[in-house]
Amino acid sequence: MLEEMATRRNSTDDPLAPVTLAVGQEDLLLDRAVQHVVAAARASDADTDVRDLTSDQLQPGTLAELTSPSLFAERKVVIVRNAQDLSADTVKDVKAYLTAPAEEITLVLLHAGGAKGKGLLDAVRKAGAREVACPRTTKPAERLTFVRSEFRTLGRSATAEACQALVDSIGSDLRELASAVSQLAADVEGTIDEAVVGRYYTGRAEASSFTVADRAVEGRAAEALEALRWSLSTGVAPVLITSALAQGVRAIGKLSSARGGRPADLARELGMPPWKIDRVRQQMRGWTPDGVSAALRAVAVADAGVKGGGDDPEYALEKAVVAIARAARSGGR
């Protein structure tokens, strides 16, 4: 029976395989795995019955009830979330079901993929279930790849700088990134570039604080001050800006003192993603070791002013931005 299940409609490209196993902790990807199966089932049969259950709702015997033969042989999708939390008796039910999956029924199991519930995970894999990886994205480069893929899926062209700006602006939430890509694709004609992303998302706290830092370390004082005033006017916390300034200057210092090499090698050595190595390389022209030291001192003074050591945090930030921009030109740029 296991061999039968592994061969019956069980291609990785077939969402109507008897069992789909979605493994990981990225909620957006887990939801999409479910939606893909449901959409395929309803395309095959508009009257498909969808049962979406949490692990505590799937009690011993429930799976047998849901998958028992129907008088009308209706198509059904049974979704079980957090399958790693199923009780031991219910796990036995699932394993028994794997030996003889019902016709016209697709079982979708969502599993976190860790040590908890590993016995079930191994059994479902051994049975030949269709598997969908839903790993949590933890690295900026992974989020950048996700954004590029979203634009491609929508048939839209976006520059590399636009994709990076979107990741910088939105942060780590894939749902927000997907929503932003969808909004840009719907609202903007032609190629989506960095300027477009800036118009839509420049008010975001994370984006605007790093914009201040980028302009400062590039020696563009006027633009950095403009970005600073915009950030503060939109409610960005001053401490976020000092943090971004510190990160920007430290990145210059790290790369300045590093051995030469490919971005991938430097990324491993310095603990930066390769895309950031390329960006910092462009920003570091004109910097000297003395300039880095002066900029770090300016950031430290601003940090103290922002955290209560001074009367005017905004003025402290303005002084730091000007000092950093001046240091960025200390090598003659």
Sheet strands side by side (includes 49-54): 49-54, 76-81, 105-111, 19-24, 130-134
The pLDDT assigned to 273 comes to 64
**Distances from the Cα of 53 to the Cα of 86, 187, 191, 205, angstroms:** 11, 36, 42, 37
Task: Say yes or no: 60 and 72 in one domain.
Answer: yes
The pLDDT assigned to 259 comes to 57
**Distances from the Cα of 170 to the Cα of 147, 177, 181, 227, 279, angstroms:** 11, 6, 11, 17, 18
Task: Say yes or no: 21 and 129 in one domain.
Answer: yes
**Distances from the Cα of 276 to the Cα of 52, 144, 190, 302, angstroms:** 42, 12, 27, 25
Tokens of 98: 């794997």
The pLDDT assigned to 13 comes to 74
Task: Say yes or no: 235 and 295 in one domain.
Answer: yes
Task: Say yes or no: 115 and 213 in one domain.
Answer: no
Task: Say yes or no: 33 and 128 in one domain.
Answer: yes
What's the number of domains the chain is made of? 3
Q: How many CB atoms lie within 10 A of CB 90?
A: 21
The pLDDT assigned to 11 comes to 44
Conformational region of residue 116, where left means phi above 0, alpha means psi within -120 to 50, and beta covers everything else: beta
| pTM beyond cutoff 0.85 | no
Task: Say yes or no: 235 and 254 in one domain.
Answer: yes
Is 328 in contact with 284 (CB distance < 8 Å)?
A: no
Instruction: Provide the Cα torsion 40, 42, 45, 49; round to 10°.
Output: 120
- Is residue 311 a part of any domain in this protein? yes
In whole angstroms, give the CA distance from residue 242 to residue 246.
Answer: 6
- Is residue 234 a part of any domain in this protein? yes
- Is residue 148 a part of any domain in this protein? yes
The pLDDT assigned to 87 comes to 95
* Domain endpoint, select from 134, 156, 183: 134
CATH code for position 209: 1.20.272.10
Q: Which residue type does 90 have?
A: T
The pLDDT assigned to 202 comes to 58
Task: Say yes or no: 28 and 88 in one domain.
Answer: yes
The pLDDT assigned to 266 comes to 67
Is 117 in contact with 83 (CB distance < 8 Å)?
A: yes
110 CB contacts (<8 Å, ≥6 apart)? 22, 30, 33, 34, 79, 80, 81, 82, 83
The pLDDT assigned to 90 comes to 96
Task: Say yes or no: 258 and 196 in one domain.
Answer: no
Task: Say yes or no: 281 and 315 in one domain.
Answer: yes
Task: Say yes or no: 177 and 285 in one domain.
Answer: no
Is 134 in contact with 29 (CB distance < 8 Å)?
A: yes
Tokens of 59: 């009690």
Which domain does 120 fall in, by range? 2-134
* Domain endpoint, select from 154, 180, 201: 201
- Is residue 312 a part of any domain in this protein? yes
User: Can you give 90-150 as a three-state secondary structure string?
Assistant: HHHHHHHHHCCCCCCEEEEEEECCCCCCHHHHHHHHHCCCEEEEECCCCCHHHHHHHHHHH
Task: Say yes or no: 213 and 157 in one domain.
Answer: no
DSSP assigned state of 24: E
Low-confidence ranges of the chain (pLDDT < 70): 1-12, 70-73, 202-208, 234, 258-275, 309-311, 331-333
